[in-house]
Amino acid sequence: MAMVLTAWVLADSAHAGGSQHRPSTDVVLASEVQWEKLNPARGDKSPQAGTLWGHRNGIGPTGFLVKFVDGFSSPPHIHNVSYRGVVISGHVHNDDPDAAPMWLPVGSFWTQPRGEVHITAAKGSANVGYIEIERGPYLVLPPKQASDSGERPINVHASNIVWVEQPGIPASAAGPKVAFLWGNPQDGQLNGTFVKLPAGFKGKIEIHGSSFRAVVIKGQPQYQVPGETDLKTLDPGSYFSSKGESVHQVSSQAGAESIIYVRTDGRYDVIPAK
């Protein structure tokens, strides 16, 4: 019997009633991302940003990539909105200006509360993160505008991510796994999770909610675009999404596992091929 991994996440009020929409899918390869300055006021010293979905200068939720040069270190600053981050390549440090460096490698997760003074630094030949906000615009502001929102930052090293399987399914090193990052299925919040597809995985992700967004964090999964015959290789930073009940055909290469960040407002099942 094929193992089915089920992750439950609940509705986002912004998508209420979305289950009536027709299914649609979108794929953005990492090589297709359009880059621009994250903070134009810093000129050539600014990190680069590439939008995957939404619009960080608009008023709604947004997900975008940010790219840092090796040795980058920002001055102390704040943001007007809180954000979540996932390290896709290189190492990122994000903390209080006086904190000792805590370098987060690929697959790490962090959050930054609005109004809190912090610095962001990066090291490595290629440093890329995925950033997600619940409302825009995303602004960089001086420390003198600091405030306490009551939120506290979170830094979770990749080695501390807790991977679990669907309750009732025997543990299997060869099966897909999930890690719950934020939100709580018990209180009606939108959720974010990691999905780990083991090396050589072939199967599908069945979506039962109204909105599903996924960003490749690690590996090079192969993706079957609906209605097309050729597979697309999703390098880290690539994005795919759907609206309504839908199915995504995915596989991992024989020698490497894949990790995908998922944001959704309904249930999804990761089902290995028989």
Q: Which residues pair with 67 in a beta bridge?
A: 48, 128
CATH of domain 5-28+161-272: 2.60.120.10
83-112 per-position pLDDT tens digit: 999 999 999 999 999 999 999 999 999 999
Which pLDDT belongs to residue 205? 94
The arithmetic mean of pLDDT across residues 126-131, rounded, is 97
pTM for the structure as a whole: 0.90
How many whole angstroms separate alpha carbon 130 and alpha carbon 85? 5
Which pLDDT belongs to residue 165? 85
Q: Residue 26, Cα to own-chain centre: how many angstroms?
A: 16
Mean pLDDT of the chain: 88
CB 3 within 8 A of CB 168: no
**4 pLDDT higher than 60:** no
E-state strands within 8-112: 24-28, 35-37, 48-53, 62-68, 78-79, 83-95, 109-112
Which pLDDT belongs to residue 169? 52
Burial class (CB in 10 A: 0-12, 13-18, 19+), 122: buried
The arithmetic mean of pLDDT across residues 153-158, rounded, is 97
**16 pLDDT higher than 60:** no
How many whole angstroms separate alpha carbon 71 and alpha carbon 52? 25
**Best CA proximity match to 257, nearest among 274, 236, 240, 273:** 236
**21 pLDDT higher than 60:** no
Walk across the sheet containing 109-112 and list its strands: 35-37, 48-53, 62-68, 119-133, 83-95, 109-112, 154-156
**Range with lowest mean pLDDT among 21-25, 39-43, 83-87, 243-247:** 21-25
**203 pLDDT higher than 80:** yes
Task: Kindly indicate the confidence band of residue 210, based on its pLDDT and cuts at 50, 70 and 90.
Answer: confident
The arithmetic mean of pLDDT across residues 212-226, rounded, is 95
For the chain, counts of helices (H) and of strands (E): 0, 21
Level-2 CATH architecture, domain 33-159: Sandwich (2.60)
Which pLDDT belongs to residue 19? 37
**7 pLDDT higher than 50:** no
Which pLDDT belongs to residue 171? 60
Query: In this structure, which amino acid lies at residue 210?
Result: S
∠ Cα 32 215 10 (to 5°) = 140
Which pLDDT belongs to residue 25? 87
Burial class (CB in 10 A: 0-12, 13-18, 19+), 19: middle
**187 pLDDT higher than 60:** no
Of residues 113 and 171, more confidently modeled: 113
Residue boundaries of the structural domains of the chain:
5-28+161-272, 33-159
**Range with lowest mean pLDDT among 73-82, 236-245, 262-271:** 262-271
Which pLDDT belongs to residue 166? 56
CA distances from 61 to 68, 133, 135, 215, 234 (A): 23, 6, 5, 15, 23
**Range with lowest mean pLDDT among 79-88, 103-112, 178-187, 222-231:** 178-187
How many whole angstroms separate alpha carbon 97 and alpha carbon 27? 38
**184 pLDDT higher than 80:** no
Total Cβ atoms within 10 A of residue 70: 12
CB 112 within 8 A of CB 118: yes
Same fold, 5-28+161-272 and 33-159: yes
The arithmetic mean of pLDDT across residues 137-144, rounded, is 95
Q: What is the SS3 assignment for 265?
A: coil
